A and B are shown apart, each in its own frame.
Chain A
């Protein structure tokens, strides 16, 4: 069966520090991968998605970047964190492009930038 791992679960970082969040998927090949951010009590904002190795689509211009160095690995990075980067970050995957292919989510990372 397929599983998705996301770490760390919580992270407290000072303003201006770098960020690296990692997500890996097991049990499937060539998944579509996504990074979402959720502000407290709010909806999900799509940050990046990837349909293959090295293929990254950015939805929101900001100081975050994403990379997909391997088929089932998706990394969210920042060189210098801002206070506004605080939030709950969710990695997700789906198969194919069919309209019935649902999203499977990781357990999330709560990022606090102080």
Chain B
């Protein structure tokens, strides 16, 4: 089974609007971390936001927030007030406490329209 599932291969959003990128995960480990990365066309991987499995509040970092629904095993990324520079691939990832591996989803390509 896939550890991380991103069901939106591509999405469009109008500039200045909010957008939600979906991510569901699969683990039986009670302790895990969830991450979102941005990959612009240059190829670099930029860390955006982190959520721990025991965190009571949803993580926020500037215009990025993580909608963490533990019972549903989802960790959706919300980008508020989209900017043209937000156009990129976005990857959801998970790290389980007992492993040194990071599992990545297949990514969502976000296009921000002016």
Residues of A at the B interface (CB closer than 8 Å) are 32, 34, 36, 41-44, 46, 49, 51, 59, 88, 90, 92, 94, 97-105, 107-108, 110
Contact = CB atoms under 8 A, between A and B. Distances in A.
Interface of B: 6, 31-33, 35, 37, 43-45, 47, 50, 52-53, 91, 93, 95-97, 100-107, 109
A43 B35 contact: no
B43 A107 contact: yes
B56 to A, nearest CB: 15
A99 B100 CA distance: 9
Contacts of B47: 102-104
B43 A110 contact: yes
Contacts of A104: 47
- Determine chain B's interface SS by DSSP, over half rule: strand
Most buried by B among A46, A49, A102, A110: A102
Given A103-B35, A108-B43, A44 B50 contact: no
Contacts of A34: 102
23 contacts: A34-B102, A41-B109, A42-B106, A43-B107, A44-B91, A46-B101, A46-B103, A51-B100, A94-B100, A94-B102, A97-B97, A97-B100, A98-B33, A99-B32, A101-B33, A102-B33, A102-B35, A102-B50, A103-B35, A104-B47, A105-B45, A107-B43, A107-B44
